[in-house]
């Protein structure tokens, strides 16, 4: 019971990262590609610039990740924009399937964390996590 808040956060982080790593290995994708897939919404086209920002990457690094996701069949080019400089992408069938698998793993992980928390504690826990998240944002 004497562990610090940071130690507890790292413990949760490592547990969740282990789940993330297992799904990434199954899908054969990098951490950046994982962020790219989870940043997408099925049926919604986004520009490479928007997706790069959602992944927390520079435009050039984001562009390389998008290219790899296209090459591996998770994304495809969406409808052409009138602006030739804008390149939009959308999830493919394989991309939607990968996103469902990722969301399933996330849901299972969350269920395991929350299964024994009473409703009142869950609300407090969630509020506290939001506060911590806002405090540590760069």
pLDDT per residue as tens digits for the range 17-30:
888 899 999 999 99
Alpha-carbon radius of gyration of the chain? 18
Per residue in 76-85, pLDDT tens? Answer: 988 766 665 6
Instruction: Give the global pTM.
Output: 0.80
Q: What does the block give as tokens for 88?
A: 């939009």
Per residue in 96-135, pLDDT tens? Answer: 999 999 999 888 888 887 788 888 888 888 898 889 888 8
Which residues, 6 or more positions from 48, have their beta carbon under 8 angstroms from its beta carbon?
59, 62, 63, 66, 87, 88, 89
Distances (CA, A) of 90 to 27, 63, 72: 18, 14, 13
Cα(108)–Cα(41) distance, integer angstroms = 20
Q: Please give the domain boundaries of the chain with CATH numbers for all domains.
A: 5-136 (1.10.10.10)
Q: What does the block give as tokens for 117?
A: 């928390």
């Amino acid at each position: 019971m004497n562990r610090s808040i940071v130690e507890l956060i790292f413990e949760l982080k490592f547990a969740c990262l282990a789940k993330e790593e297992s799904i990434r290995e199954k899908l054969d994708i990098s951490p950046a590609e994982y962020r790219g897939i989870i940043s997408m919404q099925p049926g919604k086209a986004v520009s490479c610039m928007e997706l790069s920002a959602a992944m927390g990457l520079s435009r050039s690094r984001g562009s390389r990740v998008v290219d790899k996701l296209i090459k591996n069949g998770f994304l495809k080019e969406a409808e052409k924009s009138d602006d030739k400089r804008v390149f939009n992408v959308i999830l493919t069938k394989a991309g939607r399937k990968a996103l469902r698998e990722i969301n399933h793993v996330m849901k299972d992980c969350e269920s395991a964390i929350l299964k024994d928390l009473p409703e009142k504690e869950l609300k407090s826990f969630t509020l506290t996590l939001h506060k911590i998240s806002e405090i540590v944002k760069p």
